[in-house]
Structure 1
Amino acid sequence: MSTDEATTAAAASVGDEDYVDMKFTRELRKATKDVHNLTDVLINAKFAIALSDDEVWYDGLLAFYEMYKFFETHLPERLLPKELYRTEAFERDFAYFYGAKWKDSYEPRPAVVKYLAHLEEVAAKNELLLFAYAYQMYMALMSGGQMLQKKRMIARRLWIFPKGKEEEQKQAEEDAAKATAKAAAAAASGDGVIDEDDLQARPMPAQVTICPPGCEATFFPEKINVLKSKLRRVFNSQYGAFDDDLRAAFIEESRNVFRLNLEVVRTVKGVNRANLRKLAMAAILISSIYLAIKLVIK
């Protein structure tokens, strides 16, 4: 029995329902790592400050709305479980921010039209290649989307809990901390550093556990780790059965996800305005503190 088979058997024997063999996930991640990392760097550089701005956040959601809608109308449930569907959640967020008649003036931007045309071509070739896009996009929403939403809610001071929710959030944060510590201990090497490629051991981002109005797109009622495990199992069941040609095509389309996403990200409006406004506010705050200190010293 190989090491991977032994690990899988051991997990199954203890009834770990969240366990997913990461062999294929690591293979795909390695094949897309360069373009994935470039996307992360560029997005973080562009949105580091601006995402707490409502106009930037909702225009970003609007930019990617059509893609999620496409996946949910073109992929069967065996490839995309309904628990992951986001279309209606996106639309409720848009109605909250833009108003109930937001669709009357809505028109997909050119970069999105180009993206959708490519998805049509991919779907016509093989729905499994379309799943390459869905897999990356929903994983991103359940990882980066969670972190961005939580940071945004804190920055916008929306992290206000209804009565009776404070204890629930406190417990969720304690559980997340314990899970992170456990993952760190399990994945630590001799120098105490977590192996970035050990996807099974990497700590989960803290889940957004409340849903103020306008924040539904990244809110999942089910536990994120359960949903991610479910999607990874779908991926494993398909990718493991691919021949070499289909596997190569799947990897290439997985790389295209990041390339096309970058084109769409560049269309998000209000980023420069939001960044300049927040930098100006920070400069004013720092100047005020400096003047206050000088007055105290005098």
Structure 2
Amino acid sequence: MAEKEVLFTTRVRKATRTIHSVSDALVNAKFAISLSDETVWGGGLFVFYHIFGFLEDAKKRLNMTDYEKLFVTDVLLRKDAFEEDLVHYLGENWQSLPKSLALENYLEHLQNLERENPKLLMAYVYHLYLGLLSGGQILAKKRNVFGDGNSDMNKYIDRVTDFTNVDIAQLKKDFRQAMNEIAEKMTEDEKQAFIEESSQVFLMNNLIVNSVGGQSKVLYNILYKTSAIVLLLAGVMLAYRLNK
């Protein structure tokens, strides 16, 4: 009885806790270290644009009530915002950039789901948009604090993570409630399939995040600067000792 009273979103969170933590760590390691490198940030936007774009376009193609219900407000729709950001970070010709094998595989998997079991696409909608409203906001704040050093007057506001005048806490609450209401009509087999696909969401996210290039360059620059500071401090200490 108690098990039936547990919210479906709680079941999903518990079932994916481990892989979710791994995914969060990877995203933070990849992007937090690259906050000052606009090319790397743009690369991350590029891979996720194709996933978010697919999911939003599928909303029109499927004409499926529950799928549409999960998009609780048009504020969630981010495809246009992604495109604005990509022009800013990667230039007008960003659409000509090649997709990584990981991204191609991800898109192929989504296409297969749309043909064979479109309900499972809701697992991607649920986790990706919830992630944008959670971790995406944290990364956006880090970029504002530790970004490229531009003055506030000239600082570009990332469109994809900009939810100005939106009560994000309430939006997340509404989003989870919609997911739980949809789950009430699912069979237990359908719920289990959703939970299993949820783990796949994080695995595939990890693969495309790992495919984003440029982090090594940023890491090198950071290590180079750190080493220079250490050498400078060592020189000062040596000079101090010699002149005592």
Scaled by the length of structure 2, the TM-score of the pair is 0.84
Contact 1:24 1:239 in 2 (8 A): yes
Per-residue displacement from partner, 1:109-130 (whole Å, max 9, x unpaired)?
Answer: 2211111111112122333310
Q: Structure 2: how far apart are the matches of 1:281 and 1:275? A: 10
Cα distance, 1:290 vs. partner? 4.1
Report the identity percentage. 35
Within 5 Å, give how 1:123-202 maps onto structure 2. Answer: 123-157=114-148, 160-161=151-152
The answer on 1:112 being equivalent to 2:113 is no
Contact 1:112 1:264 in 2 (8 A): yes
Q: Structure 1: how far apart are the matches of 2:162 and 2:83? A: 13
Q: Structure 2: how far apart are the matches of 1:39 and 1:254? A: 12
Contact 1:50 1:274 in 2 (8 A): yes
* Match among 22, 30, 37 for residue 21 of structure 2: 37
Tell me the secondary structure at the aligned position of residue 50 of structure 1.
coil
1:217 maps to which residue? 160
Cα distance, 1:294 vs. partner? 5.1
Within 5 Å, give how 1:149-298 maps onto structure 2. Answer: 149-157=140-148, 160-161=151-152, 212-213=155-156, 215-221=158-164, 222-292=166-236, 295=239, 298=243
Per-residue displacement from partner, 1:153-203 (whole Å, max 9, x unpaired)?
Answer: 2112558545xxxxxxxxxxxxxxxxxxxxxxxxxxxxxxxxxxxxxxxxx
Q: Structure 1: how far apart are the matches of 2:211 and 2:116? A: 28
Which amino acid is the alignment partner of residue 268 of structure 1? V
Which amino acid is the alignment partner of residue 79 of structure 2? T
Q: Structure 1: how far apart are the matches of 2:7 and 2:221? A: 45
Within 5 Å, give how 1:26-65 maps onto structure 2. Answer: 26-65=10-49
Matched pairs, number: 231
Which amino acid is the alignment partner of residue 219 of structure 1? D
Which amino acid is the alignment partner of residue 89 of structure 2? F
Cα distance, 1:25 vs. partner? 1.9
Q: Structure 1: how far apart are the matches of 2:240 and 2:116? A: 71
2:63 maps to which residue? none
Q: Structure 1: how far apart are the matches of 2:31 and 2:148? A: 18
Q: Structure 2: how far apart are the matches of 1:214 and 1:274? A: 22
The answer on 1:85 being equivalent to 2:77 is yes
Q: Structure 2: how far apart are the matches of 1:143 and 1:62? A: 19
Distance verdict in 2 for CA 1:292–1:216, change over 3 Å:
farther
Tell me the secondary structure at the aligned position of residue 159 of structure 2.
coil
Which amino acid is the alignment partner of residue 103 of structure 2? V
Q: Structure 2: how far apart are the matches of 1:24 and 1:88? A: 31
**Per residue, is there more helix in 1 or in 2?**
2
Distance verdict in 2 for CA 1:156–1:42, change over 3 Å:
closer
Q: Structure 1: how far apart are the matches of 2:205 and 2:106? A: 8
Q: Structure 2: how far apart are the matches of 1:31 and 1:43? A: 20
CA RMSD of aligned residues (A): 2.5
2:52 maps to which residue? 68
Higher RCO by CA contacts (8 Å cutoff, separation 6 or greater)? 2
Q: Structure 2: how far apart are the matches of 1:149 and 1:34? A: 24
Distance verdict in 2 for CA 1:139–1:160, change over 3 Å:
farther
Cα distance, 1:108 vs. partner? 2.5
Q: Structure 2: how far apart are the matches of 1:122 and 1:47? A: 29
